[in-house]
Structure formats: C-alpha cells, structure tokens
Amino acid sequence: MSMVSSPLSVIKLGGSLLQQPTRLKQLFNELAHSNTIPVLVHGGGASVDSWLNAMGYQVEKCDGLRVSPEQHMPMIVGALAGYANKQLMGYAIAAGLQPVGLSLYELGLRYQPMSPALGQVGLLNPLDTKISELAASLLKQHQLLIVSCIGFDEQGQWYNVNADHAAAELARLLQAQLTFVTDVEAVLDECQQPIARLSAARLKQLTDSGVINGGMKVKVEAAFDAAKQLRRSVRICGCACLTRPESGTVITV
C-alpha cells in the first residue's frame, strides 16, 4: 500500500507493558525519532483483569484468548478503549508525537463472532480488504495511530478482538513491517534461552511439548500467519526494538 512516502510499521504493544512506565517512555522516545510511520496496536489484559475482578467477575481464558461474555464487555471496553488507550496517548504526547486514539472500527474493519464459547470475541470479516479513508488521511499526516482492539459489526455489536490478531491483520492490509513488542526480549526455548530465528518446524516442536503456550502461543502463531501473508519476516522483541534491530526473535517462513 503506497499511500504515504515513508515506510509503514505496525507495532503490537503487549498489555503488560502498560504497567512499566520506564519501558514505555523508552519506546515512545524511540518512536519520536523513527523514520517510519508507526501504527500502534495495544492490548491491556492486566487492566481488564483488574476491572473485572473489582466487579466480582471471574476471568477465564481459552487457548490464550479471553472469554468475553456480554456482561464483561463494559469493563473490557472501558479498560482497553478508555484507560489503556488514553494512557498510551499521554506517553506519546510527552514524547512530542501527535497521537490519535482509535478503535478498529475507525480503521474500516468489521468483526463477527469467533465462537459461541468465547462470547464477544471478534473475528475479522473476510470482506474487509482495505482500511478507511480516515485512517489513510491520518497516516498521510504522519500522525501516530494508537489502536485499541475493540471492534464492531454492521449492527453495532461490540467485540473484544485479540490484539495479536488485529496487528497481523492491519500489517497485511497496510503491507507494513510487523513487530510484536512484549515484556520479554525474545521467544524462549526449553532452556529459557532466547531464540534468534524461529521456523515453523521449530515452532511445532515447542508448542507440541508445551514450551510455547497460552498467550505466547497465540502471539507466535499470529506472527507466522502474518509472515506468510506478508511474505516477509516478523519480529517479536522487547522495547529496544527500534534501536536494536538485531534483538528479539525473527519469525521466518
């Protein structure tokens, strides 16, 4: 997609980093001096858990995905599209950036239920093949899009969308470089050592043995799907991703 002169980069920011202000300041300062136009897609799982627990709701995960019944959605939307999104906007403004907080709807993406067992967890409508004119215009103006993973369908039903999946979908639509920034420096092997390059065969071995599981399994599988569709490598790394391009785990296909 060639709507802007500078290269596009989609960065998925792990929700656990919202509890680490020093790392966030480092990341946004790096973004302020980057020669790419970043689209930041974020989670916020710790905040969601806290809000749900405060309301007496039980948190449940299934294969790394948050089960999201309708009665949980006000807390999920408030924590992600409200608190987490605006918290990140604050860090961006402090770094001298011009952020715009958005949901997936404003980007032109529509969602549908993934599975009845998961409640309001959203799956991208396969008919959505391009981003909105609004998003394209904002990117042309070099504004930093900070995207919470709340989606809607055509009837206005809201959905909790896995941030790893959303980031991969956006990178595909934008034909952008994709980086998953998390609170660990790389994907770890069975000896808890960083993996520099991860192939599909090695991933299968590590997931079958349970070394890679839960949220990291969702993240790595989303990275592999994106790498296949983009026909380029995808990186999973810590907050030093911009100043240390050799860091992290490179997903290859």
Mark residue 195 as left, alpha or beta (left: phi above 0; alpha: psi -120 to 50; beta: remaining): beta
Q: Which residue pairs from 201-210 have beta carbons closer than 8 angstroms and sit at least 24 positions apart in sequence?
A: none
User: Angle, to 10 degrees, between the axis of helix 214-230 and the axis of helix 200-208?
Assistant: 160
Residue type, 2: S
**Annotated catalytic residue 228:** no
Query: From the candidates 12, 43, 122, 238, which is the catalytic residue?
Result: 12
> What is the Cα–Cα distance from 36 to 38, expressed in whole angstroms?
6
> What is the Cα–Cα distance from 48 to 25, expressed in whole angstroms?
22
**Annotated catalytic residue 164:** yes
**Annotated catalytic residue 108:** no
Adjacent-strand bridge partners of 179:
11, 235
Query: From the candidates 44, 119, 122, 219, which is the catalytic residue?
Result: 219
Query: From the candidates 164, 215, 238, 248, which is the catalytic residue?
Result: 164
For residues 203 and 187, is the Cβ–Cβ distance under 8 A? no
Beta strands in the chain (DSSP E): 8-13, 37-42, 61-62, 65-66, 99-103, 111-113, 122-124, 144-148, 150-152, 158-160, 177-181, 197-198, 234-237, 249-251
**Annotated catalytic residue 61:** no
Query: From the candidates 45, 119, 151, 238, which is the catalytic residue?
Result: 45
**Annotated catalytic residue 12:** yes
Query: From the candidates 14, 15, 44, 215, which is the catalytic residue?
Result: 15
Q: Are strands 99-103 and 144-148 parallel, antiparallel or unpaired?
A: parallel
Query: What are 116's two structure tokens?
Result: 């009845």
- Contacts for 253 with CB less than 8 Å, ≥ 6 apart: 200, 224, 227, 228, 231, 233
Q: Which residues are catalytic?
A: 12, 15, 45, 164, 219
